[in-house]
Amino acid sequence: MPPSDGWYLLGPFIAVALVGFLGAIFWRMGLQWTRAGEDPLRDLYAGLAIFERGEDYGLLCPAAATDDAIIAEEIRALLRAAGIRSTSAVRPDGRLVVLVFPEEVDEARRLVGGSPAL
């Protein structure tokens, strides 16, 4: 049976007060997530290499780059005929990149030869 003197309200009140206090501290430290017109993550992650928005293809390495999707498919067909698995991706500048696994990148670049390699 709950006590009738109101002490059971003290725990939730302390929890709400603590969350409010921590929110005020974070606000004063400059962790405002609601800045209008700005990308808040750009300022927070400035200088951290793992948050760069560069070209990251994971385990794959670029073997060739082209502006034309048909040429990229021809390069992939040439690599497929040689037994090299490949895929393509679009770079931030709009060009297509043909990607292969690192152990096959040298052979793929030799086979592609005349295409603009990276």
Average pLDDT over all residues of the chain = 78
**Residue 76 confidence class, pLDDT cut points 50, 70, 90:** very high
Place of tokens 């048909």: 70
What is the per-residue pLDDT across 32-64, written as a single tens digit (0 to 9) for each? Answer: 555 555 555 555 555 554 545 557 788 898 888
Strands 96-100 and 86-90, sheet pairing: antiparallel
Listing DSSP states for 21-80 in one string gives HHHHHHHHTT--S--TTS-HHHHHTTT-GGG--S---TT-EEEEEES-HHHHHHHHHHHH
pTM for this model (two decimals): 0.52
pLDDT in the model for residue 117 = 43
- Rounded distance between C-alpha atoms, residue 52 and residue 37, angstroms: 21
